[in-house]
Structure 1
C-alpha cells in the first residue's frame, strides 16, 4: 500500500510541476506579446504624428495629440468614477444577502440543538421569528413599482 501511495504522490507531484511549467511559459509568452503590442501601438502613434505634422505642422500636431491624450485620460477617470459607485452598491447588496443567509442558516442550525435540550422547544418559535424578522429586514418587501425595479 505504501508503494502505491508514493507512486500516486510522485505522479501528482510531477503533474503539478508540469502544470506550473506550462503556466510560467504561457505567462512569459503573453508578457512578450504585450510588450510587442505596446511597441506596435507606439510606432503607429508616431507614424500618425509624423503624417499629421507634415500636414498641419509640428506645433498644431503636438497640441492636438496632447489634448487628445488628456481627453482620453479624463474619460477613463470619469468612467471609473461612475462604475465605482455601481460596483460598491452591488457588493453591498451581495454582502447583505450573504449575511441574511448566514443568519438564517445559523438559526436553523440551532433549532435541533434546542429541541434536544430542556425547555429548548419553547425557544424554537422565538428563534424562528427572529430569523424571519432578520430575513425580512434584509430582503425588503419586494419591488414597489414593477417598472422601476426599486425595492423597499
Structure 2
C-alpha cells in the first residue's frame, strides 16, 4: 500500500510529469545525434569511395565497396545465427524460472486453504511424497545411452 501512496503522491507533486519531459527531451536529443552520426558516416564512406576511385578507378572502387558491404552483411548474419542458440537457451531458462516462480506463488496462495480443509496436511503431503519418490527413482535409474543398447 505504501508503494501505491508513493506513486499517487508522485503524480500529485508533478515529479512524474517532469521525469517524462526529461525522458522525452533526452530521446529527441539522442535521435538527432544519431541522425547526424549516420550522415557523417555516409560522407566518410563517400570520401573513401572517391579516394579509392581516384587511386584505382571507378569500376574497381565500386566493385570493392560492393563486395566489402556484402561481406559485412554476411558477417552480421553469421554472428546473428551463431548467437541465436545462446539467446534461445536464455529465453528457455527465463521461462522456466518464471514458471517456477508462478508455481511457488500459486502453491503458497493455496496452502492456507488446504491446511484449513478436511484433508488438511494429507492433501499436501501425498503429492509431496510422490514427487520425492519420483525424484529418487529418476536419480537412481541409469540413462539408456546409444552405446549401452548395442553392447552385449
* TM-score in same-fold range (> 0.5): yes
Aligned to 2:32: 32
For residues 13-92 of structure 1, what are the structure 2 equivalents within 5 Å? Answer: 14-92=14-92
C-alpha deviations, 1:47-99, integer Å up to 9, x for none? Answer: 11111111111000100000000111111111111212211121112212322
User: How big is the alpha-carbon RMSD for the aligned residues of Structure 1 and Structure 2?
Assistant: 2.6
Q: When the two structures are superposed, what TM-score results if normalisation uses the length of structure 2?
A: 0.71
In 1, Cα distance between equivalents of 2:65 and 2:40: 17
C-alpha deviations, 1:93-116, integer Å up to 9, x for none? Answer: 221232233324433443332222
In 2, Cα distance between equivalents of 1:103 and 1:116: 20
Q: When the two structures are superposed, what TM-score results if normalisation uses the length of structure 1?
A: 0.71
Q: How many residues align?
A: 129
Sort the Cα spacing of 1:69 and 1:107 in 2 relative to 1 into closer, same or farther, 3 A.
same
List alignment gaps of at least 5 residues for structure 1.
Answer: 1-7, 142-152
In 1, Cα distance between equivalents of 2:30 and 2:111: 54
